[in-house]
Structure 1
Amino acid sequence: MTISRRSLLASSAAAGSLLLADAVPAFAAKPAKQPNILFIMADDLGYADLSCYGRRDYKTPAIDKIAEEGMRFFQGYANSAVCSATRTGLMTGRYQNRLPIGLEEPLVIRNVGLPPEHPTLPSLLRAQGYQTALIGKWHLGQLPDYGPLKSGYDHFWGFRMGGIDYFRHGNSRGSDLWDGDVQIDEAGYLTDLFGNKAVEMVGEMAAAKKPFFMSLHFNAPHWPWEGPDDEAESDRIAAKKDPYGIRAFDGGSLKTYAAMVTRMDYQVGRVMDALRAAGIDNDTIVVFTSDNGGERFSDTWPFSGKKSELLEGGLRIPVIIRWPGQVKAGSTSEQVMITMDWLPTLVAAAGGKPDPAFPSDGIDLRPALGGHAAEPRTLCWRYMNLDQEACRQGDYKYLKILDQTFLFNVVEDPLERANLKERMPEKYAELKAVFDAWDATMLPLDPEAHTAGFSDNQMADHFGIDSPITTSVKKAD
């Protein structure tokens, strides 16, 4: 029997969610006027890295203003503790573990990516008459098989890999800056280039008199840690033949990190000014968030853990939405939400609905945006690195790291210090069973997937550079 790729994807989705409470509600009729949508995503920004979420050593006034005019979520989660897996959840509105790409991180060794035949947030919005554009980071597969223009975007200006240098716009494999499917060379600090292009695109899309969906996915504050005045650091990394700064962990500082985040904030402000100048700011939904928890210089308070860990600090992210006329200014929400909720929410706002062959695992957030009481959620995560598992149901969270297992009340104990497994064995067993049942509906872990990062030999083989292992062998010879 021959099974098509689309049939395989559809049958995986048709397994359905175990979590009946998470079912997507019926969608409203198509609105009289479809809102524009600007979706801004930072890269590796920690939960408390914005001043409106508690950062104290610098200010983010432009993003804070979006929060003042909209809503902050205090229980926002990423679909994963790493980048491409969360972006898969954003694009598909589903658990990334349903797709082979969701088992892989980083996406540079094997040819995996987001299947072009899978419905996506931009393709569903385009079906509702939207213009679509991605400015910034893709990281969901390489040409010729995968790319933004194959997955629902009309326009793409940015980079395809997981991270690139802020000044050289590439790594040891060469340049990674693209206009559509054409490789380009343009001088400048990457965050500024994205801001410039977003301002230009707002003007063009506003002039077209059609609703638009723009993804503005910054590289900041992902390493290499280079502020707008740190071109010398870029030269230093290049001299070391250091592929996109992976081994440059001696670089950076809190001061540099602050410069990176505040520069991104400045560019966000410019884009918001462009919306106002075009007279469409009150007709535009603006979302600001991050792809996963923070890394080395991030503030994840009041949580412990960082990127790549299923502790709260690796999963909790800032989430802000501004929607004039629909979301009360200066409001907050305790609704537990996750990245994959944006597809059903934004598609519904545009008057559409998900493809029934690929039902969303997320929920429509519009009741929460309207101020309704928070609904209970059950969410699960899995990450091969350190054999990690997690499941949150209500206020409780099951967590496994290596051979250690835990039960936490993450509302009363956000630092995850008091293991309640022995005190509440029935609750522990309940959440472990929920995770196992969820896990059985996902693709099995792939031992060949590179979810733990590069080994020294992989670095040497793939990038053609000396690793500690190859260097020691040469010395021995």
Structure 2
Amino acid sequence: MKTKIYQFIVCCICSACFTWAQEKPNIIILFADDLGYGDLSCYGAQDVNTPNIDQLAEEGLRFTDFQVASSVCSPSRAALLTGRYPMRNGFPVAQGKIKKHKDYGLHADEMTIADVLLKEKYATLAIGKWHLGFNKGHQPIDHGFQHFYGLQSNWHTKHPDLDDVYFDRKVVKENVAFETLIGDYTNKAIEYMEENKKNPFFIYLAYHSVHSPIKPSKEFIGTSKGSLYGDYVQELDYHVGRLTQALTDKKLDENTIVIFLSDNGPAICHFGGSAGPLNGGKYTTMEGGFRIPAIIKWKGKFATGVNNTFLSSMDLLPTLASLAGAKLPKDRVIDGKDITSILKTGKGTSPHKYMYYYNGINLQAIRKGPWKLHLPRTSEDQPFWSKNKNEKPFNGSNLKNIGCRGLIALGRPLLFDLEHDMGELTDVSKKHPEIVEEFLKEAERVRKELGDINVIGTDQRVPPFENIQEKK
């Protein structure tokens, strides 16, 4: 009799543990690279067809005012994973395979989404492009990911180890053809879902698409009206569809949060892409560099439709922590906010009073509600990817014909009402001097906290090299 009672109790405990595990949602972040606001058909693209991402948008929340914290790769990734501005987490410029960046990586003290979820008994896997340093201490498995499968950073053949696929710290495939990576990564994610379907998992899948090289697989060449770039976007869509279909087939879709977004705007100066109605693109602090396509779905739990709330990729860490039942540390500033209520209801106001637009370590714009003020700057203030020694300061009021690199040099503050002018075309600073004055005061305050050119902020983590804005 006692044996039967004991067995009954054990069964109840096991059942409760299994139920508890399943109550925590699985989480998948699909992070596209250099995908512009206007590159998907659900965001108005006419020359590409993205039915799978469109379906994700139809079944989830599609955001029209979702921002990242940088318009280049590495800082944007660091901000998403830590919930903190790049100036605060110590990763303000893109990491390169150069001598001065040899010790540059995501600091060991920084806490990532994976760190938070690992403490909540999640299985954690990073796949794809890391680009946050690859010395020991800076790798994915040093930052909360139990496993990593992917490349150190961007795919290149000019560096001998940048076309090698790693599993954890070891190379498992050498000299990999670029076109094979997107399918390989998707396969790995689907395998991991199957292996961990009885416990909560977190997959951070950072695709190389649609970053250069613009090399879609041969079966996708010629499938779009948008040249090779459009074909490349459609290939990304195909593999997103494979992954979401696998969730359905494995009966995991009702307990999995799927987040799709891009790391920054399109590289319109180099490889194409579209920012849609927005001005500028990658490398700029215009909306085309920071405002990105973003879709979040949790079947039956989150609202559906289109949401216009001003949100940030930094909001993901505190939001996912809340949904997983995790507590955040109180020893640091988390710039992101918990947006669970907005996701569940599809309604609400932005949790951010101000947002700051840095290009490298240069504060270039501030936003509050619909208002955005671009701050004066010189070409010398810019990071290496935006410098132009012969650039004359822009002193006009209409930005309709501004170049793809945005406002490299600016002689005076420019104010835009994004509610009526999301393309940042018409300066209205003379009509609203009180807003300009408020924002200039806020710029002085935040410089003291986060830093700027020739200013070290009180809560700025400074990278381990000098001349931060320079390549050499």
Secondary structure of the 1:287 match is strand
Pairing 1:380–2:356 present:
yes
Q: Are 2:390 and 1:403 aligned? A: no
Indicate whether 1:268 and 2:240 are aligned.
Answer: yes
Aligned residues with identical type, % of pairs: 33
Shift of 1:450: 5.0
Note if contact 2:66-2:312 (Cα within 8 Å) is conserved in structure 1: yes
Give runs of ≥4 in structure 1 deviating > 6 Å: none
**Shift in Å at residue 375 of structure 1?**
3.1
- Secondary structure of the corresponding residue to residue 436 of structure 2: helix
Q: Which residue of 1 aligns with 2:5?
A: none
Match of 1:185 in 2: 173
2:111 aligned with 1:119: yes
CA displacement at 1:337 relative to structure 2: 0.5
State which of 291, 295, 302 in structure 1 corresponds to 2:267: 295
SS of the counterpart of 1:103?
Answer: coil
Matched, 1:70 2:60: yes
Question: For residue 89 of structure 2, what is the aligned residue in structure 1?
Answer: 99
CA deviations on 1:432-454 (whole Å, 9 max, x unpaired) are 221221221114547935546x4
Q: Distance in 2 between matches of 1:177 and 1:294?
A: 25
Q: Does residue 173 of the first structure (1) align with residue 147 of the second (2)? A: no
2:129 is aligned to 137
CA contact (8 A) 1:383 1:451 kept: no
How big is each residue's C-alpha offset from its partner over 1:2-29, in whole Å with a ceiling of 9 and x where there is no partner? xxxxxxxxxxxxxxxxxxxxxxxxxxxx
The change in CA–CA distance for 1:130 and 1:177 in structure 2 (over 3 A counts) is same
Q: Deviations over 1:230-263 (max 9, x none)?
A: 999xxxxxxxxxxxxxxxxxxxx94111111111
Displacement of 1:298 after TM fit?
A: 1.3
Paired AA for residue 173 in structure 1: P
C-alpha separation in 1, matches of 2:219 and 2:284: 29
- 1:21-60 equivalence runs, <5 A: 33-60=23-50
> In the TM superposition, what whole-angstrom CA distance separates every residue of 1:117-136 from its partner, at most 9, and x where no partner exists?
32211010111111100111
Choose which of 201, 223, 235 in structure 2 pairs with 1:212.
201
> Structure 1: which 5+ runs fail to align?
1-29, 233-252, 459-477
DSSP 3-state at the match of 1:345: helix
Cα deviations by residue, 1:62-105 (Å, 9 ceiling, x for unpaired): 111111111011110111111111111111111111133x2222
Distance 1:173 1:31 in 2: 43
- The answer to whether the aligner puts 1:337 opposite 2:311 as a matched pair is yes
Tell me the equivalent position of 2:252.
Answer: 280
Say if 2:266 and 2:289, in contact at 8 Å, map to a contact too.
yes
Of 313, 325, 340, the match for 2:288: 313
Helix, strand or coil for the counterpart of 1:184? strand
Unaligned runs of 5+ in 2: 1-19, 376-406, 454-461
Q: Which letter maps to 1:176?
A: D
Using the alignment, how far apart are the partners of 2:195 and 2:333 within structure 1? Answer: 33
| 8 Å CA contact retained: 1:398, 1:428 | yes
Residue equivalent to 1:197: 188
| Structure showing greater relative contact order (alpha-carbon pairs closer than 8 Å, 6 or more residues apart) | 1
Equivalence map 1:389-428=2 (5 Å): 389-400=364-375, 401=407, 402-404=409-411, 405-428=413-436
Would the aligned equivalents of 1:99 and 1:443 in 2 still touch at CA under 8 Å? Answer: no
RMSD of aligned Cα (Å)? 2.3
Aligned partner of 1:353 among 327, 339, 344: 327
Q: 1:432 to 1:44 in 2, by over 3 A?
A: same
1:283-323, Cα deviation, whole Å (9 max, x unpaired): 00000000011112111111110101001101110110011
> Which residue of structure 2 aligns with residue 21 of structure 1?
none
Q: Which amino acid aligns with 1:437?
A: R
Tell me the TM-score normalised to structure 1 length: 0.78
Q: What residue identity is the alignment partner of 1:418?
A: T
Q: Distance in 1 between matches of 2:467 and 2:251?
A: 47
